[in-house]
């Protein structure tokens, strides 16, 4: 549409509902500077007008509900050119333009995606640690029938956990008489090591590497994030499942590669700080990695973690850069840990799935 060229053609008949009465007024309108002059009524700023439909010639006011101005016949271009144009896509898109709206939509989509990924992490960090501890206690209670209770071995593991965990947040570690080569971190700083892992380990340093890795999952709140992703907000209001469901979910959980890397970083850093060599953990990964192809059902630790070659190289490289080290446990402590579940092998008929 071009600008008007005929200065005489600047008035047009129209009808008006003034928004205050139900009467329809037949009026004449004209353009008066930046206002629409309406015969018998106060002029209206053009900026306050908005087009109400795309096909007809119906206008409203942004500042006065019920106000309507319509044309039964298209007004002269001198008037029509100054009135708001019909919307093509909707208010926002028409105001900022199609391409700008597309860019905004793309940015919003990216923000929603990031929020979905990061949202559970942020939510997990906002949950009080005391609440998380109570949840961990409830889940560990479901493992109660498998618990191995031996004071000397427990004291050795408690001491090792203190060496590998921050002073501000103590870790509670226990052993369960389940033959799976596995360990699982629960909410609230609880970690359960399965007897199969202790039986398979060739030194306490190997157990220390796994324990430190699981502590890393606790410290980074990966455990709670995994439960939130599985059970959603129901976890917080108690409608997401039972403690047994949560425990099984953690056994089944697959952390992201980034989360596993964070836990490995924690493990390497805190083993170094505790003076425990990471070489044994590298050998554990190497040994279990060789068994991965023909992995029996009980080797759940390998099933629930990413391939070990890269991780073995990281722990091996860290070991070569370390100075003097000392074993995670002395021989007496290590013997006590290995004896925690007694000599009788566990019954494989347990309720958990691996």
Q: Is residue 196 part of a domain?
A: yes
Looking at the structure, tell me whether residues 333 and 243 fall in a common domain: yes
Q: Is residue 33 part of a domain?
A: yes
Q: Based on the structure, what is the number of domains in the chain?
A: 3
- Dist. CA 175–CA 190, nearest whole Å: 11
Digit-by-digit pLDDT tens for the chain (354 residues) are 444 444 556 789 999 998 888 788 999 999 988 999 999 999 999 989 988 876 678 899 988 888 999 988 888 888 888 888 776 665 555 555 666 667 767 776 665 555 555 666 666 677 777 778 888 888 877 777 788 989 999 999 999 999 999 877 788 999 999 888 888 898 888 899 999 899 988 999 999 999 999 999 988 888 888 887 777 766 666 666 777 777 777 777 777 778 888 999 999 999 999 999 999 999 888 887 766 555 444 444 555 555 567 788 889 999 999 888 999 999 999 999 999 998 777 666 656 555
Q: Is residue 1 part of a domain?
A: no
pTM confidence score: 0.61
Looking at the structure, tell me whether residues 197 and 235 fall in a common domain: yes
Q: Is residue 173 part of a domain?
A: yes
Tokens of 247: 């425990």
Looking at the structure, tell me whether residues 282 and 181 fall in a common domain: yes
Looking at the structure, tell me whether residues 136 and 270 fall in a common domain: yes
Which residue range is the domain that position 29 belongs to?
Answer: 11-86
Q: Is residue 351 part of a domain?
A: no
């Amino acid at each position: 549409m071009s600008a008007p060229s005929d200065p005489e053609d600047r008035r047009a008949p129209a009808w008006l509902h003034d928004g205050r009465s139900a009467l329809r007024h037949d009026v004449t309108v004209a353009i008066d500077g930046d206002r629409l002059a309406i015969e018998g009524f106060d002029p209206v700023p053009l900026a306050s007008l908005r087009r109400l439909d795309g096909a007809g010639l119906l206008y409203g006011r942004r500042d006065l509900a019920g106000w309507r101005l319509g044309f039964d016949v298209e007004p002269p271009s001198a008037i029509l050119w100054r009135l708001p144009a019909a919307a093509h896509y909707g208010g926002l898109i028409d105001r900022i333009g199609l391409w700008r709206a597309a860019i905004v939509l793309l940015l919003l989509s990216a923000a929603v995606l990031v929020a979905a990924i990061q949202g559970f992490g942020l939510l997990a960090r906002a949950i009080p640690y005391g609440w998380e501890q109570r949840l961990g206690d409830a889940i560990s209670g479901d493992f109660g029938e498998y618990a191995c209770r031996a004071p000397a071995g427990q004291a050795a593991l408690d001491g090792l956990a203190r060496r590998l965990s921050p002073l501000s947040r103590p870790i509670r570690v226990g052993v369960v008489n389940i033959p799976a080569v596995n360990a699982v971190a629960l909410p609230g700083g609880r970690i359960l090591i399965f007897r199969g892992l202790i039986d398979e380990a060739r030194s306490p340093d190997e157990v220390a590497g796994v324990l430190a890795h699981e502590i890393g999952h606790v410290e980074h709140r990966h455990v709670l994030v995994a439960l939130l992703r599985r059970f959603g907000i129901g976890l917080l209001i108690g409608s997401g499942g039972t403690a047994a469901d949560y425990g099984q979910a953690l056994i089944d959980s697959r952390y992201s590669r980034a989360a596993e890397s964070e836990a490995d970083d924690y493990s390497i850093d805190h083993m170094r700080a505790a003076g425990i060599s990471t070489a044994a953990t590298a050998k554990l990964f190497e040994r279990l990695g060789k068994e991965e192809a023909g992995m029996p059902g009980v080797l759940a630790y390998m099933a629930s973690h990413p391939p070990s070659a890269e991780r073995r190289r990281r722990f091996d490289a860290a070991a070569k850069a370390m100075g003097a080290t000392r074993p995670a446990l002395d021989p007496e402590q290590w013997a006590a840990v290995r004896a925690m579940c007694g000599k009788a092998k566990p019954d494989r008929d347990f309720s958990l799935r691996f």
